[in-house]
C-alpha cells in the first residue's frame, strides 16, 4: 500500500536525522576551548579573524578558539542571551554602545589584573588607552576606531565650477545644491534620514557648537547644558534641513547605511559622509572610477572647527568565563603588533597602535584626508560621544523618528531641538 | 494527542509563560540588577505613548488591506487552477514561489525595488509613461504603507491559493453537475455550493491569516523599519524597537497586548461563525 | 469539472492567470538576473534588465568563501525531519480532535490557536535557557524538536479542518469492512485527505526552511548554521552583498520550488467522485 511505503520512508528519514544530529563531545586532554562571539560580522572580516586565530592557536598549544559569527542584525541579541545564561561565550566583541549595559549587568570581566605587565600596553595610542580604561576598569580593548570623512565626486564638483572639496557645512550646501539635478538622476548629498540618521544631525550640530563643547561628553556644553539648547544648534539644523530639501534625493528620508553607500557608488550622489570602511566598497564600483572620487576631511562649522566623533569596538571577556586567563591571552595577541595592524588595515579602521597611521597604507589615496585630520587636532577635535550611556539606544530610536518627522514636515527644527534638549537634560538630572 | 500536547507545552507554553512575566517587571537590559515587579506600569507606558493610536490603526489597516486582496486573488487562482490546462503544474510551481521566500528577504527585495532613485518599480513606471518622475515610495507615510502592503499581498496570495485549492479537491463534482442541471449560474454555484462546502477550511484559513499577518513584522521591518517617523509601524514592529532599546518589559507587555487583541477577535469571530452555522442549518 | 466555458470567461481566466504570473515572477526574475551579474554590474545605472555578460562569480563565491553546501544540508535535514514529524503527530491529533468528543477538546484547540498569536521573541530568552539546561544548544536535534513544537499547532488546526470535510460515513464503512480505527484512518481517510496532508507538510517544511530567529539563537558553530542565518550574514553593518545574496536566494528557493512542483500534483490531483460518496 502506497501509504505504508510513505510512512516507512518517513520513519527512516527521521531515524537518519536523529543519528546525524548527535552531539559533539568535548575533548578531554586538557585542551581549553574558547568560544569567541563577534557582533559586527561581515564575511571578509570573519575570514581575516579566522586566519589570526589560527596563528594564535599555533603559538599557544593547548588553546583552541571557536569563532561564532551570527548575522550582524541579530548578533547583539544573541550575545545578550549567551551572557545572561552564563554559558557559551568567553571572548566577545564589545561595542562602545554595549559596554555600558553589559558591564552594569555584571556580564563583563574587568581585565585590569590580567593585563598588568602586558608589554603591548605602551604601544597603544592615547585614544585607545582612554577607551580601555574608562571608569577605572578594563572591560574591553578596542581593536580600532571608526572615524568619519567626506567622500566626494571630484568630477561633479569641478563641472559645477568649484575648485575643490567643501570645507564647511555651508560650502557643502552650496556645492550640493549646484550639483543637484533630479532630471538627470544626479543628486547633491547622500542624506541619511533612515536608521542612525540622528548621528549625522549630531555631527552638524557639534560642528556649530564645537568651541563651547565639553570634550569628555560631546552632547554637553562647557556650561553644563545640552548642546541642543545652543542658539547655534538651530542654525545647524536649519542648514541641515535645507541640505535635505534642496540638495538630496527625496527618498533619502528613508536611507540608511546601504542606500547611502549605494547612492554614492552608483554615481547618483556627489557627497557622502561615511566611515573609512566604505572606501573598499566604493573602490569596487564600476559606475565611478578611481579618478572621479576621493575623500576630504569632515566639514567645519562657522568657527572653523569640527568634532570628529570616533566610534569604537573591541574585545572583552565574559565574567562567567571559566578561562579568563586564556581569553586575555587571545585579546592581547589580537591587540598588538602584526595582528592588530593587519586587522585595522583589513577593515579600514583607524589604528590603535602608536605610529600605526604612518604605514604606507594610510598615506595613499582616499586615506589622505584621515592623515590631514590627524595632523590638525585643533581643527578636527576629537570628542567623546556619550555612546556608553544606558539610554543610548532609546535615544537613537527617538532621535531617528523625530528627525524623520522634521524631514516630512511634521515637526519644526526648533521643536526638534527643544525635545532633544529636554530629553538629555532630564536624563542627566536623573543620573 | 499526548505527544502534541507535550511538545507544545514544553517548547512553547513554558518559555512563553516564563517570558511574559517580564511584562510586569522592570526588565531593561541596560540594568538587569534591578528587575523589580512594577505591576501594570509597562502597559501604562504603552497607552500613554502618542504613537500608540496611529500604530493600532496601522495594524488594523495592515491586516485588512492585506488579507482582502489575498483572499480574493487566492480564491480566483484556486478556482481557475481546478481546470486542467497545459503546463498547469509548472504554472503552479511558479506562482507558489513567493511563499518559498522568507518574509525578511522579501522585505529587503521590495525595499530595493521601491527605492525612489534607482528602484526598478519607478524605472518601469517611468518607462511605461505612467509617471514622469520617480516617487520616493518609502519616504512618505502613505506611499510607504502602500508599498509594504503590496509586498505583503504579493507574498500571501499563495497561502490562500494552496489552502483553497486543497479544500476544493474535496468538493464532489456531482455537486457542480447537479447545480448545473438546476440551471444555476456560475456565480450562484460559487456562493451557494462551493463556498458553503469548503466553509470550514475557508473560515479557519482567514482566521489564521488574520492572526499571522497581525503578528508578521518581517516585511515592514525590512522595508521601512516602521518609518518614516513611526508612520508605518504596526504593533509587532514597534515591539522590535523596544527590544532593540533593551526594554524587554515594555516589549513583553506589547506582546501580551497582541495576544489579548487577537484572543478577543478570535472569540468574536468564532462566535459569529457558530451563530451563522446555526442560522443556516 | 465544469466543462462549459464561454469565450469571455476564458479570456478573463487566461488574462488573470497571465497577469498574476507576470506579477509573481518579476521579483524572481530580478533575483535570478542579479545573481548572474558580475559584481560591478549589479549597481549600474540605468538599470540592466539583462546582464551584459553572464557571470557565475557569485555562485562560485558562495561555495568558496562560505560553506554554503553545509548550510543546505543542515536546512534540508532539519526541515525534513521537523516537517515530517510534525505532520505525523498533527495528523493523529487532528483526527482525535475531529472525530471524538471529550471535555478538554475546546481548551486544547484554543490553546493551539493561542500559540499562533504569541510574538515569538517573548519566548526566545527562556527557550534559550531551557535548551542550555537540556544541553541542546548548537545541536540540530534540539532545533528539530523546537521546530516540531512550532509546527504542530497550526498543522493540527489545519488538518482538523480537512477532516471536517471528510464524511464520517467513509471510515464507518471501512470499519464495518473489518478495519481497525487506525487502519481506517490510514487506509481510507488519509488517501482522501492527501491534498490537505501534502499542503500541511509543505507549509511545515517551508516554515522551518525559512525560520531565522530560533535558528540564530540556538545554533552557534558555522557547521550547524541553516540557510536563513547564512542569508542574513550577507547583510553586514555597512553593506548588503547583493550578488552573493541573490545567488544564495536562488539556491534557497530552488528546493522549495521543486517541492511545490512535485507536491502540486497531489494537491490538485482531484478525487474520484466515488471515494467521497462512500
Model pLDDT for residues A266-285, shown as the tens digit of each residue = 888 999 999 887 887 788 77
By Cβ distance, the residue of A21, A73, A84 closest to C144 is A21
User: For residue range B239-271, what is the model confidence (pLDDT) as tens digits?
Assistant: 999 988 888 999 999 999 999 999 999 999 989
Q: Do A397 and B116 touch (CB under 8 A)?
A: no
Mutate to test the interface with A, among B29, B142, B143 (most CBs of A within 10 A): B29
Report pLDDT for A4: 43
Least confident among A127-136, A223-232, A275-284, B119-128 = A275-284
Q: Is C16 exposed, middle or buried (0-12, 13-18, 19+ CB in 10 A)?
A: middle
**Nearby residues of A161 by Cβ (< 8 Å), 6 or more positions away:** A178
Q: Do B176 and C206 touch (CB under 8 A)?
A: no
Q: Do B166 and C196 touch (CB under 8 A)?
A: yes
Does residue A179 contact residue A189 with C-beta atoms inside 8 Å? no
Does residue A269 contact residue A181 with C-beta atoms inside 8 Å? no
Q: How many residue pairs bridge chain B and chain C with CB atoms within 8 Å of each other?
A: 266
By Cβ distance, the residue of C135, C144, C238 closest to A257 is C238
Cell representation of residue A215: 570634550
Cell representation of residue C270: 482531484
By Cβ distance, the residue of C88, C125, C239 closest to A258 is C239
Tell me what the pLDDT averaged over chain B comes to.
Answer: 87
Task: Give residues 178 to 217 of A whose Cβ lies within 8 Å of B.
Answer: 182, 185, 187, 193-195
Q: Do B198 and C165 touch (CB under 8 A)?
A: yes
Q: Do A21 and C125 touch (CB under 8 A)?
A: no
Closest CA to A206 of A130, A305, A115: A305
Of the ranges B61-65, B119-123, C187-191, C255-259, the best mean pLDDT one? B61-65
Sketch out chain A's domains with CATH numbers.
32-145+312-354 (3.40.190.10), 149-309+372-430 (3.40.190.10)
What subunits touch chain A, counting only 3 or more CB pairs under 8 A? B, C
β-bridge partners, A295: A151
User: For residue range A380-418, what is the model confidence (pLDDT) as tens digits?
Assistant: 998 888 988 888 888 998 999 999 999 999 999 999 999
By Cβ distance, the residue of C2, C156, C166 closest to B180 is C2
User: For residue range C184-243, what is the model confidence (pLDDT) as tens digits?
Assistant: 777 788 887 888 888 889 889 999 999 988 999 999 988 999 998 888 888 776 667 778
Confidence class for position B56, pLDDT limits 50, 70, 90: very high
Report pLDDT for A369: 87
User: For residue range C82-114, what is the model confidence (pLDDT) as tens digits?
Assistant: 999 999 999 999 988 888 888 888 888 889 999
Residues of A in contact with B241 (CB under 8 A): 397
Query: What's B129's DSSP letter?
Result: T
By Cβ distance, the residue of B29, B32, B225 closest to A195 is B225
Q: Are strands A306-308 and A380-382 parallel, antiparallel or unpaired?
A: parallel
Report pLDDT for A13: 44
A226 pLDDT higher than 90: yes
Task: Give residues 351 to 410 of A whose Cβ lies within 8 Å of C.
Answer: none
Q: Do A404 and B229 touch (CB under 8 A)?
A: yes
Give the pLDDT mean for A146-150: 90
Q: How many residue pairs bridge chain A and chain B with CB atoms within 8 Å of each other?
A: 96
Secondary structure of chain A as H, E, C letters: CHHHHHHHHHHHHHHHHHHHCCCCCCCCCCCEEEEEECCCCCHHHHHHHHHHHHHHHHHCCCEEEEEECCCHHHHHHHHHHHHHHCCCCCEEEEECCCHHHHHHCCCECCCHHHHCCCCCHHHECHHHHHHHCHHHCCCCEEEEEECCEEEEEHHHHHHCCCCCCCCEHHHHHHHHHHHCEHHHCEEEECCCCCCCHHHHHHHHHHHHHHHHECCCCCCEECCCCEHHHCHHHHHHHHHHHHHHHHHCCHHHHHCCHHHHHHHHHCCCEEEEEECCHHHHHHHCCCCCCHHHEEEECCCECCCCCEEECCEEEEEEEECCCCCHHHHHHHHHHHCCHHHHHHHHHHCCCECCECCHHHCHHHHCHHHHHHHHHHHCCCCEEECCCCCCCCCHHHHHHHHHHHHHHHHCCCCCHHHHHHHHHHHHHHHHHHC
Report the alpha-carbon distance of residue C170 to residue C184 in Å, rounded. Answer: 9
Give percent of chain C with pLDDT exceeding 70: 90
| Peptide linkage before C46 cis (omega within 30 of 0) | yes
Q: Which residue has the higher pLDDT, B214 or C186?
A: B214
Query: What separation, in Å, do the N-terminal and C-terminal C-alpha atoms of chain C show?
Result: 19
Q: Do B227 and A401 touch (CB under 8 A)?
A: yes
Report the alpha-carbon distance of residue B166 to residue B186 in Å, rounded. Answer: 20
Q: Do B228 and A408 touch (CB under 8 A)?
A: yes
Does residue A140 contact residue A316 with C-beta atoms inside 8 Å? yes
Q: Do C231 and B102 touch (CB under 8 A)?
A: yes
Give percent of chain A with pLDDT exceeding 90: 60
By Cβ distance, the residue of A66, A72, A267 closest to C236 is A72
Query: What's B259's DSSP letter?
Result: H
Alpha carbon A327 to its chain centroid, in Å, reads 24
A82 pLDDT higher than 80: yes
Report the alpha-carbon distance of residue C256 to residue B98 in Å, rounded. Answer: 10
Report the alpha-carbon distance of residue C216 to residue A75 in Å, rounded. Answer: 8
Closest CA to C238 of A289, A387, A284, B144: A284
Q: Do A43 and C241 touch (CB under 8 A)?
A: yes
A401 touches chain B (CB under 8 A): yes
By Cβ distance, the residue of A84, A251, A408 closest to B229 is A408
Nearest Cα residue in chain B from C3: B83
Cell representation of residue B248: 524587554
Report pLDDT for A187: 95
Closest CA to A318 of A72, A68, A50, A62: A68
Report pLDDT for A246: 96
Residues of B in contact with A249 (CB under 8 A): 116-117, 136
Return the number of other C-beta atoms located less than 10 Å from residue C103's C-beta: 6
Q: Which residue has the higher pLDDT, A353 or C262?
A: A353
A335 pLDDT higher than 90: yes
Confidence class for position B54, pLDDT limits 50, 70, 90: very high
Task: Give residues 37 to 96 of C whose Cβ lies within 8 Å of A.
Answer: 39-41, 43-45, 65-66, 77-78, 80-81, 84-85, 88
Q: Which residue has the higher pLDDT, A360 or A198?
A: A198
β-bridge partners, A67: A36
Q: Are strands A63-68 and A32-37 parallel, antiparallel or unpaired?
A: parallel
Report pLDDT for B144: 96
B115 touches chain A (CB under 8 A): yes
Sketch out chain B's domains with CATH numbers.
63-232 (1.10.3720.10)
Report the alpha-carbon distance of residue B161 to residue A260 in Å, rounded. Answer: 39
Q: Are strands A149-153 and A269-274 parallel, antiparallel or unpaired?
A: antiparallel
Give the pLDDT mean for A176-203: 93
Report pLDDT for C275: 34
Nearest Cα residue in chain A from C216: A70
Does residue A145 contact residue A311 with C-beta atoms inside 8 Å? yes
Residue with cell 604612518: A358
Mutate to test the interface with C, among B2, B102, B215, B254 (most CBs of C within 10 A): B102
Confidence class for position C78, pLDDT limits 50, 70, 90: very high
Tell me what the pLDDT averaged over chain C comes to.
Answer: 83
Biggest alpha carbon–alpha carbon distance for chain A? 87
Confidence class for position C270, pLDDT limits 50, 70, 90: very low
Confidence class for position B280, pLDDT limits 50, 70, 90: low
C54 pLDDT higher than 90: no
Q: Is B37 helix (H, G, I), strand (E, B) or coil?
A: strand
C276 pLDDT higher than 90: no
Residues of B in contact with A248 (CB under 8 A): none
A251 pLDDT higher than 60: yes
Residue C56: what are its φ and ψ, rounded to 5°? -100, 5
Closest CA to B116 of B136, B99, B144: B136
What subunits touch chain B, counting only 3 or more CB pairs under 8 A? A, C
Q: Do B118 and A254 touch (CB under 8 A)?
A: no
Residues of C in contact with B103 (CB under 8 A): 210
User: For residue range A43-75, what is the model confidence (pLDDT) as tens digits?
Assistant: 788 989 999 999 999 999 999 999 999 988 889
Nearest Cα residue in chain B from A266: B118
Nearest Cα residue in chain B from C94: B1
Confidence class for position A9, pLDDT limits 50, 70, 90: very low
Does residue A403 contact residue A197 with C-beta atoms inside 8 Å? yes
Residue with cell 478525487: C271
Q: Do C186 and A4 touch (CB under 8 A)?
A: yes
Report pLDDT for A382: 87
Report pLDDT for C215: 93
B175 pLDDT higher than 60: yes
Q: Do A101 and B118 touch (CB under 8 A)?
A: no
By Cβ distance, the residue of A84, A394, A410 closest to B245 is A394
By Cβ distance, the residue of B118, B224, B245 closest to A268 is B118
Confidence class for position C1, pLDDT limits 50, 70, 90: very low
Closest CA to B109 of C248, C115, A64: C248
A238 pLDDT higher than 70: yes
Q: Do B101 and C210 touch (CB under 8 A)?
A: yes
Report the alpha-carbon distance of residue A97 to residue C61 in Å, rounded. Answer: 33
Report pLDDT for A349: 87
User: For residue range C128-159, what is the model confidence (pLDDT) as tens digits?
Assistant: 999 999 999 999 999 999 999 999 999 998 88
Report the alpha-carbon distance of residue B94 to residue B116 in Å, rounded. Answer: 28
Nearest Cα residue in chain B from C105: B1
Q: Is C178 helix (H, G, I), strand (E, B) or coil?
A: coil
Report pLDDT for A234: 97
Report the alpha-carbon distance of residue C142 to residue A364 in Å, rounded. Answer: 51
Report pLDDT for B46: 95
Least confident among B169-173, B212-216, B227-231, C108-112 = B169-173
Does residue B117 contact residue A187 with C-beta atoms inside 8 Å? yes
Closest CA to A209 of A198, A197, A196, A225: A225
Does residue A121 contact residue A76 with C-beta atoms inside 8 Å? no
Report pLDDT for C3: 52
Q: Do A195 and B137 touch (CB under 8 A)?
A: no
Report pLDDT for C4: 62
Nearest Cα residue in chain A from C232: A71
Taking the CA atoms of B147, B149, B153 and B159 in sequence, report the sign of the dihedral they define: positive
C30 pLDDT higher than 80: yes
Report pLDDT for A17: 43
DSSP line for C141-167: HHHHHHHHHHHHHHHHHHHHHHHHHS-
Alpha carbon B44 to its chain centroid, in Å, reads 27
Confidence class for position C267, pLDDT limits 50, 70, 90: low
What subunits touch chain C, counting only 3 or more CB pairs under 8 A? A, B
Mutate to test the interface with B, among C94, C161, C269 (most CBs of B within 10 A): C161
Amino acid at each position: 500500500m502506497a501509504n505504508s511505503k510513505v510512512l516507512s520512508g518517513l520513519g527512516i528519514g527521521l531515524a537518519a536525522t536523529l543519528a546525524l544530529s548527535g552531539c559533539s563531545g568535548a575533548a578531554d586532554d586538557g585542551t581549553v576551548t574558547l568560544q569567541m562571539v563577534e557582533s559586527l560580522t561581515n564575511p571578509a572580516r570573519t575570514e581575516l579573524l579566522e586566519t589570526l586565530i589560527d596563528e594564535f592557536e599555533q603559538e599557544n598549544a593547548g588553546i583552541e578558539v571557536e569563532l561564532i559569527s551570527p548575522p550582524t542584525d541579530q548578533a547583539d541579541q544573541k550575545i545578550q542571551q549567551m551572557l545572561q545564561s552564563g554559558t557559551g561565550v568567553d571572548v566577545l566583541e564589545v561595542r562602545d554602545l554595549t559596554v555600558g549595559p553589559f558591564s552594569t549587568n555584571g556580564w563583563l570581566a574587568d581585565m585590569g589584573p590580567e593585563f598588568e605587565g602586558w608589554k603591548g600596553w605602551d604601544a597603544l595610542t592615547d585614544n585607545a588607552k582612554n577607551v580601555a580604561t574608562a571608569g577605572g576598569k578594563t572591560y574591553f580593548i578596542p581593536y580600532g576606531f571608526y572615524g568619519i570623512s567626506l567622500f566626494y565626486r571630484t568630477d561633479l564638483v569641478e563641472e559645477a565650477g568649484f575648485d575643490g572639496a567643501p570645507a564647511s557645512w555651508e560650502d557643502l550646501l552650496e556645492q550640493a545644491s549646484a550639483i543637484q539635478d533630479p532630471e538627470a538622476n544626479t543628486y547633491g548629498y547622500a542624506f541619511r534620514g533612515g536608521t542612525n540618521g540622528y548621528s549625522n544631525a549630531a555631527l552638524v550640530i557639534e560642528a556649530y557648537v564645537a568651541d563651547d563643547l565639553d570634550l569628555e561628553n560631546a552632547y554637553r556644553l562647557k556650561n553644563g547644558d545640552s548642546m541642543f539648547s545652543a542658539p547655534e544648534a538651530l542654525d545647524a539644523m536649519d542648514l541641515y534641513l535645507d541640505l535635505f530639501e534642496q540638495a538630496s534625493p527625496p527618498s533619502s528620508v528613508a536611507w540608511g547605511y546601504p542606500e547611502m553607500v549605494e547612492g554614492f557608488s552608483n554615481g547618483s550622489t556627489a557627497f557622502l559622509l561615511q566611515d573609512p570602511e566604505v572606501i573598499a566598497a566604493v573602490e569596487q564600483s564600476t559606475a565611478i572610477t578611481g579618478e572621479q572620487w576621493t575623500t576630504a576631511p569632515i566639514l567645519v562649522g562657522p568657527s572653523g572647527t569640527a568634532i570628529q566623533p570616533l566610534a569604537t569596538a573591541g574585545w572583552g571577556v565574559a565574567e562567567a568565563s571559566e578561562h579568563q586567563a586564556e581569553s586575555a591571552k587571545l585579546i592581547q595577541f589580537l591587540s598588538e603588533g602584526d595582528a592588530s595592524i593587519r586587522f585595522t588595515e583589513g577593515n579600514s579602521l583607524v589604528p590603535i597602535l602608536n605610529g600605526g597611521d604612518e604605514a604606507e597604507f594610510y598615506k595613499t589615496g582616499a586615506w589622505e584626508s584621515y592623515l590631514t585630520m590627524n595632523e590638525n587636532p585643533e581643527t578636527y577635535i576629537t570628542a567623546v560621544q556619550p555612546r556608553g550611556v544606558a539610554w543610548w539606544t532609546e535615544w537613537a530610536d527617538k532621535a531617528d523618528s523625530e528627525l524623520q518627522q522634521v524631514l516630512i514636515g511634521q515637526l519644526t527644527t526648533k521643536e526638534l531641538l527643544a525635545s532633544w534638549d529636554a530629553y538629555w537634560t532630564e536624563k542627566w538630572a536623573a543620573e | 494527542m499526548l505527544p502534541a500536547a507535550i511538545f507544545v507545552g514544553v517548547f512553547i507554553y513554558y518559555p512563553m509563560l516564563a517570558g511574559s512575566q517580564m511584562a510586569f517587571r522592570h526588565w531593561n537590559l541596560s540594568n538587569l540588577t534591578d528587575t523589580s515587579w512594577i505591576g501594570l506600569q509597562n502597559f501604562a507606558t504603552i497607552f500613554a505613548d502618542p504613537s500608540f493610536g496611529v500604530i493600532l490603526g496601522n495594524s488594523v489597516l495592515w491586516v485588512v488591506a492585506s488579507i482582502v486582496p489575498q483572499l480574493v486573488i487566492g480564491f480566483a487562482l484556486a478556482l481557475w487552477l481546478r481546470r486542467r490546462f497545459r503546463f498547469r503544474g509548472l504554472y503552479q510551481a511558479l506562482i507558489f514561489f513567493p511563499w518559498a521566500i522568507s518574509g525578511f528577504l522579501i522585505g529587503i527585495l521590495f525595499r530595493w525595488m521601491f527605492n525612489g532613485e534607482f528602484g526598478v518599480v519607478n524605472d518601469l513606471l517611468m518607462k511605461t509613461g505612467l509617471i514622469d518622475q520617480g516617487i520616493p515610495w518609502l519616504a512618505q507615510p502613505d506611499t510607504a504603507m502602500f508599498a509594504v502592503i503590496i509586498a505583503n499581498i504579493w507574498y500571501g496570495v499563495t497561502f490562500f491559493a494552496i489552502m483553497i485549492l486543497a479544500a476544493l479537491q474535496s468538493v464532489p463534482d456531482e455537486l457542480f453537475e447537479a447545480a448545473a442541471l438546476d440551471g444555476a449560474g456560475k456565480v450562484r454555484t460559487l456562493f451557494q455550493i462551493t463556498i458553503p462546502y469548503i466553509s470550514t477550511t475557508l473560515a479557519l484559513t482567514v482566521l489564521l491569516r488574520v492572526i499571522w499577518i497581525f503578528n508578521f513584522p518581517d516585511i515592514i521591518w525590512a522595508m521601512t523599519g516602521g518609518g518614516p517617523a513611526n508612520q508605518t509601524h504596526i504593533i509587532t514592529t514597534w515591539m522590535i524597537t523596544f527590544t532593540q532599546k533593551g526594554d524587554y518589559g515594555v516589549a513583553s507587555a506589547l506582546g501580551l497586548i497582541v495576544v489579548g487583541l487577537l484572543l478577543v477577535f478570535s472569540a468574536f469571530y468564532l462566535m459569529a461563525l457558530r451563530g451563522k452555522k446555526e442560522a443556516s442549518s | 469539472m465544469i466543462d462549459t466555458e464561454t469565450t469571455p470567461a476564458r479570456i478573463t481566466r487566461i488574462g488573470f492567470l497571465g497577469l498574476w504570473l507576470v506579477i509573481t515572477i518579476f521579483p524572481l526574475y530580478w533575483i535570478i538576473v542579479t545573481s548572474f551579474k558580475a559584481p560591478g554590474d549589479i549597481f549600474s545605472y540605468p538599470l540592466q534588465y539583462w546582464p551584459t555578460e553572464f557571470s557565475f562569480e557569485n555562485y562560485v563565491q558562495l561555495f568558496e568563501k562560505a560553506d554554503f553546501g553545509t548550510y543546505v544540508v543542515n536546512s534540508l535535514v532539519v526541515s525534513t525531519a521537523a516537517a515530517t514529524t510534525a505532520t505525523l503527530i498533527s495528523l493523529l491529533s487532528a483526527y482525535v480532535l475531529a472525530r471524538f468528543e471529550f471535555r478538554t477538546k475546546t481548551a486544547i484547540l484554543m490553546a493551539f490557536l493561542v500559540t499562533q498569536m504569541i510574538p515569538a521573541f517573548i519566548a526566545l530568552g527562556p527557550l534559550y535557557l531551557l535548551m542550555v539546561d537540556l544541553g541542546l544548544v548548537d545541536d540540530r536535534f534540539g532545533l528539530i524538536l523546537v521546530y516540531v513544537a512550532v509546527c504542530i499547532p497550526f498543522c493540527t488546526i489545519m488538518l482538523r479542518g480537512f477532516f471536517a470535510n471528510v464524511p464520517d460515513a467513509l471510515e464507518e464503512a471501512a470499519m464495518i469492512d473489518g478495519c481497525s480505527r487506525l487502519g481506517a484512518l490510514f487506509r481510507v481517510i488519509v488517501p482522501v485527505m492527501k491534498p490537505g496532508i501534502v499542503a500541511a507538510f509543505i507549509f511545515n517544511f517551508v516554515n522551518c526552511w525559512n525560520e531565522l530567529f530560533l535558528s540564530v539563537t540556538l545554533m552557534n558553530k558555522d557547521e550547524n548554521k541553516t540557510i536563513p542565518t547564512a542569508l542574513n550574514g550577507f547583510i553586514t553593518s555597512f553593506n548588503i552583498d547583493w550578488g552573493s545574496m541573490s545567488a544564495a536566494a536562488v539556491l534557497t528557493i530552488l528546493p522549495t520550488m521543486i517541492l511545490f512542483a512535485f507536491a502540486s500534483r497531489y494537491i490538485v490531483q482531484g478525487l474520484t467522485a466515488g471515494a467521497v460518496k462512500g
